[in-house]
Chain A
Amino acid sequence: MRAARFLLPLAIMLSSTACMSTYRMPAGTPSASLRVPPGVTTWICANGPAQILPKGKDGRARIPAGERITIGANFATSDGYMNYFCSAGVSLQPEKDAGYYQDFETEGDRCIALVYRETDDARVGLAFEPTVGRSGAGCTR
């Protein structure tokens, strides 16, 4: 029963990302850094369909800078009786060498995945990213 509780969300998560390949940034592309949240599958649309965004051991991923991309996340859980799946994303145009933070939050059965700019200029160390917009129209997941 307990194994099923853990395996079920895993199965849902896998099925929701089964068609996604893993994103590899083209060599020589200017990049920015994104800290991704634990417990979700972060994906990226960069001039193409959604792909899984791999992260390093430090919990950060490299994302292309200077072009509009869509960053999102998939989340799945189960209470043993019902399965919950949620996916959300936003588009932005990252700046080269800048740091970003992806926040994934769930409230009830709704979820939101926003991206913020890390900055030393703000007291809390975080600021709104001015280029954030709607998820890209050509981005499917």
Chain B
Amino acid sequence: MKRHFLGAVTMAMLLSACATGYHSASNPLLGLTGGYWDQPGPGRLIKVGFSGNGYITRDKVATYLLYRCAEVAQREGGSHFIFYTSLPDAIGDRRSSERIVNAIGGKPATYAYILVVSEAEPDALSATEVIARLGPVVKPTPKQGGVS
């Protein structure tokens, strides 16, 4: 019992000293540091967000958000998505391709609204292309160790 408690404390201390990784904010353990989330609506939009802790950079949060938007678009059965930084932009159909990230209390967090579409259209982002482009940054493959 005491060992479990110490293990949990150690894990919490390790997590609190690491930058937020690319994982769901609802992850029972890793989610303590933040992560991605999404919720349907309003209207036909999907709100996608990423929240980080004080160790992650704003650029990285922006990258993670865009990558997650592409994953959500594929999950919803779309090949492309239209990226809006606010609801007024969505209503006015002012499309974007990136999001400026602000921080509250030193913790960067951001969100965007996406409209998932089934085919290419002007200024719509290809989910496949975004995942291919950002994948090496978001989900880097572990370096192979070996003997020469």
Near B by CB (< 8 A), chain A positions 100-116 give 101, 103, 105-109, 114, 116
Band of interface residues on A: 20 to 34
**Contacts A103-B87, A114-B87, A126-B87; A84 near B104 (Cβ below 8 A):** yes
Chain A residue with the shortest CB-CB distance to B110: A107
**Chain B residues, CB < 8 A from A13:** none
**Chain B residues, CB < 8 A from A122:** 43, 91
Inter-chain CA distance A31–B16, complex, in Å, is 47
Chain B residue with the shortest CB-CB distance to A119: B43
Inter-chain CA distance A35–B40, complex, in Å, is 12
Band of interface residues on B: 10 to 19
Task: Choose from B42, B104, B115 the contact partner of A108 (Cβ within 8 Å).
Answer: B104
Near A by CB (< 8 A), chain B positions 94-118 give 102-107, 113, 115
Name the residue in B41, B43, B105 with the highest tally of chain A Cβ atoms < 10 Å from its Cβ. B43
Q: Mark A49-87, 1 if CB is under 8 A from B, else 0.
A: 000000000000000000000000000010101101000
The answer to whether A101 and B41 have CB atoms under 8 Å apart is yes
Report A6 CB to chain B, min CB distance, Å.
Answer: 12
Report B65 CB to chain A, min CB distance, Å.
Answer: 14
Q: Do most interface residues of chain B lie in helix, strand or loop, or is the interface mixed?
A: mixed
Chain B residue with the shortest CB-CB distance to A38: B39
Report B23 CB to chain A, min CB distance, Å.
Answer: 19
Name the residue in A77, A81, A114, A126 with the highest tally of chain B Cβ atoms < 10 Å from its Cβ. A126
The answer to whether A126 and B43 have CB atoms under 8 Å apart is yes
Report A141 CB to chain B, min CB distance, Å.
Answer: 22
The answer to whether A107 and B102 have CB atoms under 8 Å apart is yes
The answer to whether B43 and A125 have CB atoms under 8 Å apart is yes
The answer to whether A118 and B102 have CB atoms under 8 Å apart is no
The answer to whether A126 and B102 have CB atoms under 8 Å apart is no
The answer to whether B42 and A106 have CB atoms under 8 Å apart is no
Name the residue in B41, B86, B88, B104 with the highest tally of chain A Cβ atoms < 10 Å from its Cβ. B104
The answer to whether A81 and B42 have CB atoms under 8 Å apart is no
The answer to whether A79 and B106 have CB atoms under 8 Å apart is yes
Task: Choose from A84, A105, A126 the contact partner of B45 (Cβ within 8 Å).
Answer: A126
Report A73 CB to chain B, min CB distance, Å.
Answer: 15
A interface residue numbers (CB < 8 A to B): 35, 77, 79, 81-82, 84, 101, 103, 105-109, 114, 116, 118-119, 122-128
13 sampled A-B residue pairs with Cβ under 8 A: A35-B41, A79-B106, A101-B41, A101-B42, A103-B42, A108-B102, A108-B104, A109-B104, A114-B87, A116-B87, A123-B115, A124-B44, A124-B90
Q: Assuming A84-B104, A123-B44, what are 10 further A-B pairs, CB within 8 angstroms?
A: A35-B42, A79-B105, A103-B42, A106-B104, A108-B102, A109-B104, A116-B42, A122-B91, A125-B45, A128-B88
